[in-house]
Structure 1
């Protein structure tokens, strides 16, 4: 077995485990916290979490089996699954991946409305508005996935070791131009549209955040000048906090946009370059780009949810409850054993 194949198998298995645990933790927070459920952004986070979980249960195991199948010396292009099952997996892959990208774009729009229109946020972004955006995301993804199935453009691709969009015929056929147009439209309306919305929304958020930071900095400096007897260490602490405040928003926005580009762009660019004549995607490169796209599903819970204070509080509370229950059960078991060891006097 090739070392690169073993490395990719270990990487894919690790990504699948982390994705399962992290997305399940987000769902646990939703179940345990009424406060999180009451917030409008939770609708988008929930939609993203379900997409990532379903991707973890469908596409990731299929890619792992396809990778093992190829490493075991299967014939070139021979699928490890039946045609019908592989078609269903390719439908799920297209639908869930596109829906996840659009969910991230919806989260950026929600942050833009919250920062730019803080006083009218509840009227501009209510549960109905969030439901409409999620509904559009689902219909948009469903349209492309159904088009792929109806045109029979889903199947097993050895270059990616997975069931995905693929043209099974000869590239010289007239239908290949339709498949190429579909592939370009899929990634333009999925990846490119989501990236455009992310950049526009978060850059606007960054501009507003910097403006507010400047106003806070001016007020802080004026206060420090008025307070003459303040200790120098307190002044220094205030200035350090100013610098941290200016950098915090930039780091978060770089994380949102940077993780999106880093994880999805290699796969999308490879799929587009693959359409050119005489271009053959190397197996290990194609699988690596697919694993990188899967890594976004594992990282999304940390980027959008688990690092926030509300989610951390809920997880700590649940963990504390579980540990306390275990300690109480062990204590009660120990007490029972101790009592049984005492001889009874008749």
Structure 2
């Protein structure tokens, strides 16, 4: 019982950090002029992805983890699993777009502003979300991920109190290759090229803001790989075995929540490595504290002064009677 309580506290803190941190990222980009650039459109997209994960997926994952059963029915179970897959896919594809953006900024600095235009960034983001929806909702709602080809969690053999993510070999190989392993290889290649160019032209690169942005986003991708690679390795192994319910494998919740923790790490990485984000965070938090202190002072003034006003009116009334 105590272990369940402790686990509940830890998961709740992780959810709060995920939601609060990514709201702070979005507000920082909106509030700071120095952060309003095309590259940070991808950062905001990534923050929105992590925010949606914290609001629409993590609470239900925590419920499933703590209660060991699913009380919300099969339809919502499949929606929840589809959202989970969609948001994870959106994260990795957004990181791929970020790596391509940084590659172009470093390798083609003179042509970068003419190549990376607002409409092209918009097309890239729409493409990321379109692909993410297509590889998540479509296969799961059509039953393409199951061994027998039927929609998971439906049918006479399905339990109303279970929420299973069924896997078959074609689905796992297609999904993991297209949405994790191949984008990961592409990102590694782009950052190796960036590193090679940065070493060859160190003086020119280090003096620009592009180097700082590249360093920050490389750290974000590194954290993503560390957090999600164990999950995708286990996901691939279980899928090749066509495991009927990966959730009952003891290691599965551990690697899954390690992946979820990545959504809380990104705002910390931005603040630790990027001075503009750090300044924007500090400004927003100072404004918040100032607003709270102003509200408290107003309440205290109202509480302190109102009785005196009533007393003065009473004295004046008494004087008139006399």
- Shorter-chain TM-score bucket reads 0.7 to 0.9
Aligned to 2:157: none
Distance 1:163 1:53, change over 3 A: farther
- Report the count of equivalent residues: 294
| Contact kept in structure 1, 2:213 and 2:274, CA below 8 Å | no
In the alignment, the residues of structure 2 paired with residue 129 and residue 93 of structure 1 have an alpha-carbon distance, to the nearest angstrom, of 27
TM-score (norm. length: structure 1): 0.73
Residue 263 of structure 2 corresponds to residue 274 of structure 1: no
In the alignment, the residues of structure 1 paired with residue 205 and residue 51 of structure 2 have an alpha-carbon distance, to the nearest angstrom, of 41
Aligned to 1:183: 172
Aligned to 1:166: 166
Residue 63 of structure 2 corresponds to residue 68 of structure 1: no
In the alignment, the residues of structure 2 paired with residue 209 and residue 89 of structure 1 have an alpha-carbon distance, to the nearest angstrom, of 43
Distance 1:216 1:41, change over 3 A: closer
- Which of 88, 92, 102 aligns to 1:101? It is 92
In the alignment, the residues of structure 2 paired with residue 57 and residue 216 of structure 1 have an alpha-carbon distance, to the nearest angstrom, of 39
Query: What is the Cα deviation at residue 34 of structure 1?
Result: 4.6
| Contact kept in structure 2, 1:45 and 1:304, CA below 8 Å | no
The aligned runs of 1:68-147 (5 Å cut-off) are 68-70=66-68, 79-145=70-136, 146-147=138-139
Distance 1:50 1:118, change over 3 A: same
- Which of 16, 40, 46 aligns to 1:48? It is 46
Query: What is the Cα deviation at residue 287 of structure 1?
Result: 0.4
Query: What is the Cα deviation at residue 195 of structure 1?
Result: 0.9
TM-score (norm. length: structure 2): 0.78
Q: Aligned to 1:274, what secondary structure does the other structure show?
A: helix
Aligned to 1:27: 26
Structure 2: gaps of 5 or more residues = 146-150, 154-160, 317-322
The aligned runs of 1:208-247 (5 Å cut-off) are 208-213=197-202
Query: What is the Cα deviation at residue 162 of structure 1?
Result: 8.9
Structure 1: gaps of 5 or more residues = 168-178, 218-241, 243-247
Q: Aligned to 1:119, what secondary structure does the other structure show?
A: coil
Query: What is the Cα deviation at residue 276 of structure 1?
Result: 3.7
